[in-house]
Structure formats: structure tokens, C-alpha cells
Structure 1
Amino acid sequence: MSETLQTPDVVTSDADLLDQTEIAVRAAGAVLRERFGEVVRYESREELMGALAANDEAALDVLRPALTVLRPHARWVEDELGGGALPAGEWWVVDPAEGNVNHLHALAEWAVTATLVRENRPVLTVVHLPLTGETYTALAGGGAFVDGRPLHVSPTAELGLGIVATSQARPDEDEAVVRRVGSSITAMLFDALVVRTAVPATLHLVNVAAGRIDAFWQFAGARADLLPGALLVTEAGGRISDAQGRPWTPQSDSFLAAAPALHTQAVATLSR
């Protein structure tokens, strides 16, 4: 891969655009890696939000100009916690510090992501884990990869033999959603081998795409934490739906990504 960001007139294909997006995302990851180490202490919600914003801004200072050069007419999703359908056209859906609160607590589970959405369909995505150096990429119709190696979902066919995971969509979730999450975890504890619960969603989803875990579900959620993984899992051969097995869209109130052979079992468990 070239190490020099190309100008828009040189980027002639989505595959070329994916390469250049990866360079930008890795550069932003290097900035956040330099900021990582000690636990960031805070004594109020305002201090916490300020620390989160500082990380976001540091990464966006790299990502925004680089991605704007690549796609000058693509619009930018400003609210990384936003959900629902996007207006027509191309959009950059970016999470400059996915798992930002983990970064602040000196925990390793965080990433930088960028996804290009065209007419409400993810076209390409890059998920970079700066601490391990791993970079996950997917191109619609072109497969999913980690550092150039193809990804494939798990062949596990029995939920009782599967490792599954879920994530908390946001800290101040609606009470009904919180109770739904709790009951779903209880149901999975009965039916699956192991249940993992942690943030962020994207890191569970790269593990589904890589065949390390067998299913991931979440209630509510944002475009920025589901679209990258949705494309990676789909291109790795997995199945995406809502928790009832219906086609998933950014407007859906639930999300399920699973190995195809146990998808129906996961739906049955989550629908109880």
C-alpha cells in the first residue's frame, strides 16, 4: 500500500479509496496511541465529557481533512451516537475513538473507525486497533480482511457451544431498553456456552467476522458502532438481522450478527 495520501483525481475506485482511508485511519490511531497510558481521572460528568471530547478532537484533526480530500462532496455525520437513516448521497460515518471511555481508563479495547455510506449502504470500512496494530477492512462485494488476510465467520452450528457477546449502546439508555438488555443476557446465559458483555460493539463485531466469537447482539445503538461491523461480518460470510430475524437497517431497534448456522437459534433465544 502506498504511504502517501492520494489526491481525489487519483482515487479512481472504491478499492483505491479503501486503501487511502486505511492510511488516514491508521494515522489517527497513532495520535490516540500517543495519548494512551495513564488513567484519566475525573470528578464530574462535565470533566468526563471534556476528556472524551479531547480524544475525539485529536483524532478528528487527522481524519476530517484526510477524508474530505478523498471525497470532497461526501457529507459528515457529526453525531457519532446518532441513529436512523441518512439522507441520500455519500456520508462519512466516523468514530474517532470507538471505546473512548476504555481509552481514558487505560483499557486496551478501543479503536478508530471510518465507514463510507452511499445511499444508506456501507460501501467500505476500516477499523484500526492502534495498540495491536491490527487493521480490519471490508469492501462491499470484495470481502473482509485483517491486515490483508481473509476473514471468515465461525462454522459453529450449536448455540450451546458458542461464545456470544453484547454491548451497552449508551450510558443513559432508556429504562425499557436496559431491562430488555438484562433479560436477553439472562436468556443467553441459559442457552449459550459463554456470554461476554463489554463496550465497544465494534470490537465484538470484528471478532464475529474473524470467527473468534459466534454471535453479537445489541438493543438500540448508533450508526457509528454498528455499520463498520455489519459490513465486516457480512463480507466474512455472517448473517445480519434485527433480534427477531428481520432485515436490519439503521432504523432498527435491535441488531444481531451471527454465524449462519446458529443465527436462527440466537433469534429464538432473543425473542423469548
Structure 2
Amino acid sequence: MSDNTPDPWATQAAELLAIAVTVAREAADTARSMRAEGVSGVSTKSTDTDVVTAADRAVERQVIAALGALRPGDTVLGEEFGGTAGDGAVRWIVDPIDGTVNYLYGLPVYAVSLAAEVEGVVVAGVVRNAATGDEWTATLGGGAFRGERRLTGSAQTDLAQALVATGFGYDAKRRAHQAEVLARLITRVRDIRRFGAAAIDLCLAAEGGFDAYFEKGLNPWDRAAGGLIASEAGLLVGGLDGRPAGNDMTVAAPPAIFGPLTDLLAEFDAAGGP
């Protein structure tokens, strides 16, 4: 292929991103307007602290319907309703409201996250903070952006000077284990932040809002779009001991501190426990 020949993979990723952005913006508008009307239909899932609202369900239904109209035959994997059947090569991965507890309390850190996956590889993703309108996007090999600004991540090379973000699970025993890990880590880094929305955390790491991020327990909808945005911004995104990012651990950090951070997390058994 000559340098002047368009890359069909890049063309497809760009087309999928355009769809994702349109659908995510409309979904974010719904989430924000429903929040303004007052949170309703609140219930719990895995534990008494793991909340879901009527808006979570309504937004996911809207995304599924919109994608079905634009891309009939594609599969959709969502947090609230699981997977929808399809015979296409594209699977969409959606978190309708990432940061539901923030949404419940009116804290302006909650997002619609939507990614397109082709043959098991995430090729396009968008995360839109529904409360503020901030939007992050990426395509595989095409870079990551906040609006029109290309993202390059943090240039930090010293873990001791790194601002590190994390999150916690909903199970009390898991939280206790995560707190033990954090108590050991906090003396080895500059400081810790916890915002309560994994997709936004990954995007803030991508733009250098903090230097690194780690969390145990992320599902595909938590990390699909944000993980692509972080990696396209130049961060390493993976798990511990050379494993890929997954439910047991997701780390996003600049190359210079990824190894030292994952080594400490492995030493502290961050991927272990409940």
C-alpha cells in the first residue's frame, strides 16, 4: 500500500467514531435533562451501594435504538441490559451513565461512554461528560482528542512525583482490601485522587489531568472507550505482570512510570482480594 492510499481500517474507524459521537451526544442530553427533572427509579444491583437509576436504563435503551437504526445487524453490549444479538462484525460497548453515584448526588462527573469494537479490537471511542459537555474521542492509530486538542498524556517520569487516580468497588470486603493497597501506595506517590467515574478518569489521565490511573473491577463498558483514548494519548494501558487490562486490574500510565507503578501494585496484591 502506498503512502497515498487510504487505510480502509482508519476509514472505518472514523466512520464508526462519527456515529458514536452523534449517539453519545444525544444520550448525554437525555441523561442531563432527566437529572434536571430529578432522579427517579433508583434501585440497587450488586450491593446496597451499587445504584442504578431510571435514567441509566432509559439512556441505554436510547443508545441501543439509535445504533439499531444506524447500524442494523451490529451487536451492542451494555451495562444495564447485557448484549443484543447481531450478525455484524461490529460490537458497540456502552456505559449509559458512568458515575451513577455522582449522578445521584448531582456531582458534575458522569459520562456516556461508547466504543466500537471490530473483531475484538476497540477501534473508536467517545466519552462525553453529560454534566459539562466535555468530550474525549479516539480512533485506533488516529490519536486521542479533547475537542480539537490532541492529547499526549503526562510527561512524568518519577513515580514519587506522580498524581495517581483510582476507584473502589461496591463490595465492602473488596473496598477494605483496596484501602489497604492505597494506604501502602500513598506514601510512594505525590498524592491520590478519586472522582468516581472510570471512563472520565481514563480520559483525564489521557490529557495529563493526573499522571496515572489504576482500578480493580472494571468491566468492558467502564474501560473500552476510555482505555482507547488513554492509549492513543501515548499512555500504556494494561494489567499486572504483563497481562492486558481487565476486570482484575486496569492501569493507565506514561511509559516511564507504568513499570514502577505496576510493580508496586503487584507487590501490594492490588489485583487480589475479593
Shorter-chain TM range is 0.7 to 0.9
Q: CA deviation at 1:21?
A: 1.6
Gapped regions of structure 2 (runs ≥ 5) = 1-10, 268-274
CA contact (8 A) 2:75 2:88 kept: no
| Pair 1:41–1:78, CA change in 2 (3 A) | closer
| Pair 1:183–1:89, CA change in 2 (3 A) | farther
CA–CA distance in structure 2, aligned partners of residues 193 and 76 of structure 1: 40
Q: State the one-letter code of the partner of 1:270.
A: L
**Alignment match, 1:208:** 205
TM-score, normalised by the number of residues in structure 2: 0.82
Q: CA deviation at 1:108?
A: 0.9
**Alignment match, 1:58:** 58
**Alignment match, 1:28:** 27
Q: Determine helix, strand or coil for the equivalent of 2:35.
A: coil
Q: How many residues align?
A: 251
CA contact (8 A) 2:51 2:101 kept: no
- 1:175-234 deviations in whole A, cap 9, x for unaligned? 3x4344122211221101011124111111111100111111111221111122210111
**Alignment match, 1:16:** 15
| Pair 1:162–1:44, CA change in 2 (3 A) | same
User: 177-186 or 228-237: which moved more?
Assistant: 177-186
**Alignment match, 2:5:** none
**Alignment match, 1:3:** none
| Pair 1:229–1:78, CA change in 2 (3 A) | closer
**Alignment match, 2:105:** 105
| Pair 1:156–1:81, CA change in 2 (3 A) | farther
Once superposed, which parts of structure 1, at least 4 consecutive aligned residues long, lie more than 6 Å away? 41-44, 48-51
CA–CA distance in structure 2, aligned partners of residues 141 and 53 of structure 1: 36
Gapped regions of structure 1 (runs ≥ 5) = 1-11
Q: CA deviation at 1:50?
A: 12
Say if 2:172 is the partner of 1:194.
no
| Pair 1:79–1:111, CA change in 2 (3 A) | closer
Q: Determine helix, strand or coil for the equivalent of 1:138.
A: strand
Mapping of residues 71-150 of structure 1, within 5 Å = 71-79=71-79, 89-150=89-150
Q: CA deviation at 1:44?
A: 7.3
User: 117-126 or 158-167: which moved more?
Assistant: 117-126
Percent identical residues: 28
| Pair 1:184–1:77, CA change in 2 (3 A) | same
Q: Determine helix, strand or coil for the equivalent of 1:271.
A: helix
User: 92-101 or 60-69: which moved more?
Assistant: 60-69
**Alignment match, 2:7:** none
| Pair 1:271–1:25, CA change in 2 (3 A) | same
What is the CA RMSD across the aligned residues, in angstroms?
2.8
Q: CA deviation at 1:115?
A: 0.8
CA contact (8 A) 1:159 1:265 kept: yes
